[in-house]
C-alpha cells in the first residue's frame, strides 16, 4: 500500500489505476499469474508518474507497460471506462448469480440482494450474511443438493419411507413421483405422494406429521426439515434425507399428502414436468376449466383482472385418465410428459 491513500486526489492517474486494479482483481480470481504480474507492474509504474498519462504512445514509453496495456490506458482516459472491464464484471455477476441461485430455496431476487450487499462467494455468505435456517442448510449441503440422485438410490430411499409408513398402517400407499415416475435415470430430489384408500386429508396429515416424520427422524433417515414455500404450506413436507451409512450424501425429499379422492389430480401435478403442468393447465383454462393439484373444476367465477372469485364445481379429481378424457387430451404416459 505504497502511498495508495494519498493517490485519491493528488495522483493524476488515479482513475486509470482504479480501473486497472479492478482488472487485476479479476485476473487474481482467475489465477491468471501472468496477467496479474503485468497489471501490477503497470499500476506501479503509473503510481510513480507526476503527469497524467493520456495516450498509448506516452504509456508505451514508460517501463513495464506493453502495447496492449497502453491501449487500455488510452481507452480509459478517452472514455472514462474500459469495455473489457464492463464485460468482465457482467460475466462475474452472472456467474455469482448462477452460483447463489443453485442454493436450495434461493431465487433470483435473494441472489441479487446478496450481490448488492457485496457478497461474492458461498464463503462470503457463510461468514458475513444473515442466513435463514433453510439457507444455512442449503449452503452447508450445496454440493449434495446439486448432485443428481441415481435411479436405484431413489428407489432405496423411497422403500425406506414406504416401509416406515406401512409399519404404522399397512393400508397406506407411498408412490415415487416427479422425474422418477417419468422414467428419468437420475433425479434432482425424491418426490413421494402419500395417501390411503378412502382416507381424508386431515387423517393422512396426522399420521405423516405426528408419526411417520418423527419415526424417520429418530431412525436418522430424515436429517433436516426445510420450511415449505408459502404456496404448498400444509400439503407438502420438505426436507433432507440420507441412506443409513456414514457419509451418505444428503438428498432433498418432498412428501405430498393427498386425500384419496384427489389422487388423479395430484398424480398429474406431482408427475409433471412443470412445463407440462403449465401447458395442460393453460389448455384447461381455454376450455373453461380450471385444473390444479386438487382437481378439475368448471364454472370458476372470475372478477376483474381474472381474479378467482369461486373455486367452481368439481368435475373430476379421482382419476388421472378421466381428467385427460374430459379435457379431450389423448392419454400421455408419464415418460411422455416432458415438454
Active site positions, annotated = 72
Q: Between 227 and 266, how does the x/- string for binding to Mn ion read (CB under 5 A)? A: ---------------------------x------------
Q: Between 219 and 258, how does the x/- string for binding to ligand DCP read (CB under 6 A)? A: ----------------------------------------
Site size with ligand DCP, rule: CB under 6 A: 13
Q: Name the packing angle between helices 263-271 and 274-286 (round to 10°).
A: 130
Map residue 222 onto helix, strand or coil: strand
Q: Which is nearer to Mn ion, 153 or 189 (CB)?
A: 189
Q: Between 266 and 295, how does the x/- string for binding to ligand DCP read (CB under 6 A)? A: ---xx-xxx--x------------------
Does the CA dihedral 305-308-314-318 come out positive or negative?
Answer: positive
How far is residue 13's CA from residue 7's CA, in Å, rounded to a whole number?
8
- Of 16, 134, 135, 179, which lies in the binding site for ligand DCP, with binding defined by CB under 6 A? 179
Examine residue 178 and tell whether it contacts ligand DCP (CB under 6 A). Answer: yes
Q: Name the packing angle between helices 14-29 and 33-47 (round to 10°).
A: 160
Q: Which is nearer to Mn ion, 191 or 262 (CB)?
A: 191
Cell numbers for 298: 368448471
Examine residue 189 and tell whether it contacts Mg ion (CB under 5 A). Answer: yes
Phi and psi, residue 280, nearest 5°: -70, -30
- Of 74, 75, 153, 191, which lies in the binding site for Mn ion, with binding defined by CB under 5 A? 191
Residue 171 near residue 203 (C-beta atoms within 8 A): no
Residue 178 makes CB contacts below 8 A (sequence gap 6+) with 187, 189, 190, 191, 254, 270, 271, 272
Residue of 122, 270, 65 lying closest to 182 (CA atoms): 270
Examine residue 189 and tell whether it contacts Mn ion (CB under 5 A). Answer: yes
Q: Which is nearer to Mn ion, 45 or 273 (CB)?
A: 273
* CB of residue 238 to ligand DCP, shortest distance in Å: 10
Q: Which is nearer to Mn ion, 53 or 257 (CB)?
A: 257
Amino acid at each position: 500500500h505504497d502511498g495508495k491513500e494519498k493517490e485519491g486526489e493528488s495522483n493524476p492517474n488515479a482513475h486509470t489505476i482504479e480501473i486497472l486494479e479492478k482488472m487485476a482483481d479479476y485476473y487474481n480470481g482467475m489465477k491468471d499469474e501472468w496477467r496479474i504480474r503485468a497489471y501490477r507492474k503497470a499500476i506501479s509504474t503509473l503510481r510513480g508518474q507526476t503527469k497524467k498519462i493520456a495516450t498509448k504512445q506516452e504509456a508505451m514509453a514508460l517501463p513495464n507497460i506493453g502495447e496492449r496495456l497502453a491501449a487500455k490506458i488510452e481507452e480509459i482516459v478517452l472514455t472514462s471506462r474500459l469495455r473489457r472491464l464492463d464485460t468482465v464484471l457482467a460475466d462475474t455477476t452472472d456467474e455469482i448469480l448462477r452460483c447463489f441461485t443453485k442454493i436450495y430455496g434461493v431465487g433470483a431476487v435473494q441472489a441479487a440482494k446478496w450481490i448488492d450487499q457485496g457478497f461474492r462467494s458461498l464463503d462470503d455468505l457463510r461468514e458475513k450474511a444473515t442466513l435463514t435456517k433453510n439457507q444455512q442448510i442449503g449452503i452447508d449441503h450445496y454440493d449434495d443438493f446439486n448432485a443428481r440422485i441415481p435411479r436405484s438410490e431413489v428407489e432405496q430411499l423411497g422403500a425406506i419411507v414406504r416401509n416406515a409408513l406401512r409399519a404404522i398402517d399397512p393400508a397406506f400407499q407411498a408412490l415415487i413421483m416427479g422425474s422418477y415416475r417419468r422414467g428419468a435415470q437420475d433425479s434432482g430430489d425424491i418426490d413421494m405422494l402419500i395417501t390411503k384408500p378412502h382416507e381424508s386429508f386431515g387423517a393422512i396429515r396426522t399420521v405423516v406429521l405426528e408419526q411417520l416424520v418423527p419415526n424417520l427422524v429418530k431412525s436418522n433417515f430424515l436429517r433436516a426439515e426445510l420450511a415449505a414455500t408459502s404456496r404448498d404450506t400444509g400439503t407438502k413436507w420438505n426436507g433432507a434425507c440420507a441412506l443409513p451409512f456414514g457419509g451418505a450424501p444428503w438428498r432433498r425429499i418432498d412428501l405430498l399428502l393427498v386425500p384419496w379422492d384427489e389422487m388423479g389430480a395430484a398424480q398429474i401435478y406431482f408427475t409433471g414436468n412443470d412445463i407440462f403442468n403449465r401447458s395442460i393447465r393453460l389448455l384447461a383454462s381455454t376450455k373453461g376449466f380450471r385444473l390444479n393439484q386438487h382437481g378439475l373444476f368448471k364454472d370458476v367465477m372470475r372478477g376483474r383482472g381474472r381474479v378467482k372469485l369461486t373455486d367452481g364445481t368439481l368435475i373430476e379429481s379421482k382419476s388421472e385418465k378421466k381428467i385427460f378424457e374430459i379435457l379431450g387430451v389423448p392419454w400421455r404416459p408419464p415418460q411422455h410428459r416432458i415438454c
